[in-house]
């Protein structure tokens, strides 16, 4: 229970921690989150940092060092500390389809206190205490679940007074993929350079993993739309391929939940090439839902919307031609979005509550600009 899918933006604390027994050396401490949806109740240790993940899945780690996650005496796995970690990071060369990854995801989903991992995973204190008696689990076993896992399922059910069940591999893979998509979804803005220079705005779809957007050539002042040709591949280093309507192909990769980079090349003249880098646009870590949409019309760019428990909207607009950003405020009630940006842009739209697809129109009377937008979102917390 508690927090669920999605990206939670994390930032360096700028703190230092004394290295134990190392002659007074120091390490930079950072915040991270563990996700198979947000996981509350995992024990963690990284250097001198240790504790229990909070309701956001939050933990602290020492930069450059590993983080070990466990439940009582049972070690879940170890991976290099970073801002967002998942079961994939606990398996060497792990991928979404790796059995050891999926079995860890199945195990975590099974332990959820309310048996609803889609709204977040909480490992109860009673189960954490009982887990001090648990023995190691072989997540690579061909006969998973093993006898030990079946015993743990029974004991967790007794402690929580609810019948815990181990989901099948397909269910766990779909759940983890949804988590990964939401963590990496959103709006990203920056620039491209090389034999051509300009601005670029990309939107990662939280449902399909498709990467779309727009670009603006600052030399000839021409804007183009970017469409997806190959969506994000979670079994191939988070890579994607997109193309604009003037012949540029973008081969990109998710560097982190906060940044994307890659190369571009012209299909009309293969000697024309370069690179691009973009960083996340907006994003409130405590938002309940997060939406990103690509707008077109008199201008092109992105809108990002964060929605809180009271359906209040805060967000950001970004023009790919001018790189200007403007804060947005509004509301989302009865699946109807109404918002206004500081620059006077009015934004209206409709939300599909089943798919979380969002579309609508925008206008700025003073600037004599108008257009439409389309995109979507996911539940973050």
The answer on 168 and 199 residing in a single domain is: no
Hey, what are 285's tokens?
């870590």
Are 311 and 342 found together in one domain? yes
Do 124 and 208 belong to one domain? no
pLDDT, tens digit, 9 for 90 and up, residues 27-60: 899 999 999 989 999 999 999 999 999 998 999 9
Q: Kindly report the backbone phi and psi dihedral angles of residue 101, in degrees, each rounded to the nearest multiple of 5, phi listed first.
A: -70, -50
Q: Which domain holds residue 124?
A: 12-181
Say whether both 146 and 292 belong to one domain: no
Whether 2 is in a domain gets the answer no
The answer as to whether 247 is a domain residue is yes
61 belongs to a structural domain = yes
Tell me: do 268 and 202 sit in the same domain. yes
Helices (H), the chain: 99-111, 125-130, 147-160, 169-184
Pair 192, 160 in one domain: no
Exposed, middle or buried by CB within 10 Å (0-12, 13-18, 19+), for 21? exposed
Return the SS3 of 166: coil
Q: Are residues 175 and 272 in the same domain?
A: no
Considering the domain architecture, whether residues 238 and 89 belong to the same structural domain is answered as no
For 243, how many CA atoms within 13 A lie in the half-sphere containing its CB? Answer: 9
The answer on 195 and 146 residing in a single domain is no
Q: 32 and 87 share a domain?
A: yes
Residues 335 and 362 in one domain: yes
Q: Which of residues 181, 211, 236 is at a domain's end?
A: 181
Does some domain include residue 229? yes
Asked if residue 359 belongs to a domain, the reply is: yes
For residue 348, give the nearest of 309, 308, 295, 300 by alpha carbon.
295
pLDDT at residue 236, rounded to an integer: 64
Per-residue pLDDT tens, the chain, 381 aa: give them.
444 443 434 443 444 443 333 444 568 999 999 999 899 999 999 999 999 999 989 999 999 999 999 999 999 999 999 989 999 999 999 989 999 999 999 999 999 999 999 889 999 999 999 999 999 999 999 999 999 999 999 999 999 999 999 999 999 999 999 888 888 899 999 999 999 999 999 999 998 899 999 999 999 999 999 999 999 887 767 899 999 988 999 999 999 889 999 999 999 999 999 999 999 998 776 788 999 999 999 999 999 999 998 999 999 999 999 999 999 999 999 999 999 999 999 999 999 999 999 999 999 999 999 999 999 999 877
Tally of structural domains, the chain:
2
∠ CA 60-130-175, nearest 5°, is 60
End residue of a domain, out of 181, 201, 234: 181
Last residue of a domain, one of 140, 163, 181: 181
44 in any annotated domain: yes
> Does residue 322 share a domain with residue 213?
yes
């Amino acid at each position: 229970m508690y927090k669920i899918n999605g990206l939670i933006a994390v930032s360096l604390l700028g703190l230092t921690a004394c290295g134990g027994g190392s002659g007074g050396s120091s390490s930079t401490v950072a915040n991270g989150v563990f996700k198979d949806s947000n996981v509350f109740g995992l024990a963690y240790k990284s250097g001198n940092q240790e504790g229990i993940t909070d309701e956001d899945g939050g933990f602290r780690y020492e930069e450059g060092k590993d983080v070990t996650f466990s439940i009582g005496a049972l070690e879940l796995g170890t991976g290099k500390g970073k801002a967002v970690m998942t079961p994939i990071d606990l398996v060497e060369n792990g991928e979404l389809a790796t059995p050891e990854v999926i079995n860890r995801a199945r195990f975590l989903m099974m332990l959820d206190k309310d048996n609803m991992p889609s709204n977040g995973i909480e490992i109860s204190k009673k189960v954490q205490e009982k887990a001090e008696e648990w023995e190691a689990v072989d997540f690579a076993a061909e006969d998973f679940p093993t006898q030990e896992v079946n015993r743990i399922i029974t004991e967790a059910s007794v402690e929580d007074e609810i019948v815990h069940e181990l989901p099948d591999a397909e269910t766990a893979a779909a759940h983890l993929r949804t988590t990964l998509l939401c963590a990496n979804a959103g709006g990203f803005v920056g620039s491209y350079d090389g034999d051509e220079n300009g601005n670029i705005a990309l939107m990662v779809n939280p449902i399909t993993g498709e990467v779309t957007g727009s670009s603006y050539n600052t030399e000839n002042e021409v804007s183009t739309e970017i469409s997806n040709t190959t969506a994000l591949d979670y079994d191939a280093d988070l890579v994607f391929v997109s193309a604009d309507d003037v012949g540029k192909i973008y081969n990109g990769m998710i560097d982190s939940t906060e940044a994307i980079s890659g190369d571009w090349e012209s299909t009309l003249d293969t000697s024309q090439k370069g690179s691009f880098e973009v960083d996340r646009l907006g994003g409130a870590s405590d938002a309940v839902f997060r939406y990103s949409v690509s707008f077109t019309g008199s201008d092109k760019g992105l809108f990002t919307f964060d929605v809180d428990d009271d359906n209040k909207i805060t967000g950001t607009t970004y023009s790919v031609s001018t790189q200007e950003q403007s804060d947005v405020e509004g509301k989302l009630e009865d699946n109807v979005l109404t918002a206004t940006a500081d620059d006077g842009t009015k934004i209206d739209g409709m939300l599909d509550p089943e798919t979380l697809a969002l579309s609508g129109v925008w206008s700025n009377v003073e600037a004599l600009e108008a257009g439409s937008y389309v995109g979507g979102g996911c539940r973050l917390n």
